[in-house]
Amino acid sequence: MGPALAEGGCPPGSYPIGGQGVQGCAPIPGTSSGASGPAVSAPPQPLGEWLTRWGAVAESPTSSLVGTSSNESSERRAVAVAIKKCAAEGAKDCKSSVTYYNQCVAFAVPSSGKGQGSLDTAVDAETVAGNAIEHCKDTGGGECTVVYSECSLPVFKKF
């Protein structure tokens, strides 16, 4: 003897659907696949957490000196490290120009030395490099080149 089927030939936990010669079975809401009665499985529990990672760029407005930081645990720490690195290059007036978190930064400059560079952020290294080159203006007719690129991506910490 074969298995017993519910109305319309559907397995337990489903009901017949369709019409005009086309018929199928759909799960009964509140049941898990193939079982009758309410679903009893608990929702999955997290096994850790994502930690934000920060980066910063500090520049001296009176010189071309720059300091950078990446993979820091806070914005405040990222800025402090970037300013300290800028000052270590000899500048006395370093200020944070960009902070970013859970993404990448790239700086592109004109190859000709004429024009305006571009500092951009984006979700990954490839995208940010392309954006920086695209936004860089080389008024000398040359190409722009990425001279700095770094990512500060989130880190997963297991419980």
Q: What domain range includes position 79?
A: 49-158
| 21 occurs within a structural domain | no
**Number of domains present in the structure of the chain:** 1
pLDDT at position 53: 98
Highest mean pLDDT among 52-61, 114-123, 139-148: 52-61
Average pLDDT, the chain: 87
Region 57-61: mean pLDDT is: 96
| 112 occurs within a structural domain | yes
pLDDT at position 126: 96
pLDDT at position 78: 98
| 77 occurs within a structural domain | yes
Three-state helix/strand/coil letters over the chain: CCCCCCHHHCCCCEEEEEECCEEEEEECCCECCCCCCECCCCCCCCCEEEECCEEEEEECCCCCCEEEEEEECCHHHHHHHHHHHHHHCCCCCCEEEEEEECEEEEEEEECCCCCECEEEEECCHHHHHHHHHHHCECCCCCCEEEEEEEEECCEEEEC
Structure tokens at 86: 């800028």
| 93 occurs within a structural domain | yes
Q: What is the pTM of this model?
A: 0.68
Give the Cα separation of 37 and 35 in Å (integer): 6
Structure tokens at 55: 């980066």
User: Please, which pLDDT band fits residue 26 given cuts at 50, 70 and 90?
Assistant: confident
| 137 occurs within a structural domain | yes
| 138 occurs within a structural domain | yes
Q: Which residue has the higher pLDDT, 141 or 32?
A: 141
| 104 occurs within a structural domain | yes
